[in-house]
Amino acid sequence: MLSYLCFGCFLVSASLEIACGTPIKETSKADAGGGAGIAILGVLAKVGVEAALQQIDNIWKGDVVRYWKCAVENRSDKTLYAYGTTSESGSMGTVFADIPSGSTGIFVWEKSRGAATGASGVVHYRYGDKILNLMASIPYDWNLYQSWANARVSNEKESFYNLYNGLNGAKPATRGGNWGDVDGAKFFLTEKSHAEFKVIFSG
pLDDT, tens only, 160-197: 999 999 999 999 999 999 999 999 999 999 999 999 99
Least confident among 18-22, 28-32, 59-63, 103-107: 18-22
Across 105-119, b (16+ Cβ under 10 Å) vs e yields bbbbbbbbeeeeebb
pLDDT tens digits, 96-155: 999 999 999 999 999 876 667 799 999 999 999 999 999 999 999 999 999 999 999 999
Name the residue among 140, 148, 87 with its Cα closest to residue 114: 140
pLDDT confidence of residue 195: 95
Q: What are the Cα distances from residue 143, in Å, to 56, 85, 131, 167?
A: 28, 28, 34, 25
Confidence (pTM): 0.80
Least confident among 53-57, 78-82, 84-88, 139-143: 53-57
pLDDT confidence of residue 31: 38
| Greater pLDDT, 23 or 127 | 127
Q: Which pLDDT band holds residue 25 (cuts at 50, 70, 90)?
A: very low
